[in-house]
Amino acid sequence: MIDKIKMIGFVLVFGIFWSTALVAVDTWTSPRIEKYLLEKKQKKVLEALVIPYEKDAVEDVFTTNVTSEEIDGKTIYKAEDGSIAFEFNGAGSQGAMRGVMALSSNLEEIKGLAIIQQSETPGLGSRVLESAYLANFQDKKVVPRLEIVAAGTASADNEVDAITGATLTCVALEKIINENAKEAKALIGQ
């Protein structure tokens, strides 16, 4: 009996000790972490809205150029020229894909795309999500729908060349873009 009480007592004391230590570390680090996460999101919103920024002035540029508002629980970021941006979530070919998408003020053209998180195959699918390729989507029409077509065949203003070897990621991205553009239109057009 005494053994059992000792055992429980030891685990309890040990647990309380570590819990206190963790709470202390958490209070110490959480302001920095929150600041970092917020700044990261602001950076991506700026990238999607194609607003240039200096590395150490993200917050300033963001507050002077972008306003945000909540519609049905979704945060919509608005730039001065009327274009809007919002966060999207979707399924990539390997795992979740998260990013920011910006549309022109009439919600018909893509203004820009920025990826926050992805887990595509390194060196293959991941190339689709690099900013150099994502720049191809600028000013492409999402109405009636955006098409990612075989490399070198894009001609219409709603077509973008795919990257050979990254078919699955292109298909996933196409789906995400179209679904989110539609959703945004339904949300804002109300």
Partner 1 sequence: MNLKTLFGKKGAKTIKNAIWREHPITSATLGVCSALAISNKVENALAMSAGVIFVLLLTAVIISTLRMLIPSRVRIIIYMITIAAGVTIVDLALLAFFPTISEAMGPYVPLIITNCMIMGRAEAFFIQNPPKLSLIDALANGFAYMYTLMAIAIVREVFAFGTILGIRVTPANWVDWVVLAAPAGAFFVLGIFLWIVRTWAGVEPPTSS
Residues that bind partner 1 (CB under 8 A): 3, 6-7, 10-11, 14-15, 18, 21-22, 25-26, 29, 32-33, 36, 40, 121-124
Q: How many CB atoms are closer than 10 A to CB 104?
A: 17
Taken in order 91, 101, 175, 132, the sign of the CA dihedral is negative
**Which of 5, 156 has the CB closer to partner 1?**
5
**Minimum CB–partner distance for residue 185 and partner 1 (Å):** 32
**Cβ-based nearer residue to partner 1, 105 or 131:** 131
Tell me, what amino acid is at 92?
A: G
CA distances from 38 to 24, 35, 62, 80 (A): 22, 5, 11, 21
Looking at beta carbons only, is 31 or 52 nearer to partner 1?
Answer: 31
How far apart are CB 170 and partner 1 at their closest, in Å?
A: 17
Q: Which of residues 55 and 190 has its CB atom nearest to partner 1 in the complex?
A: 55
> Among candidates 34, 102, 90, 93, which has minimal Cα distance to 66?
102
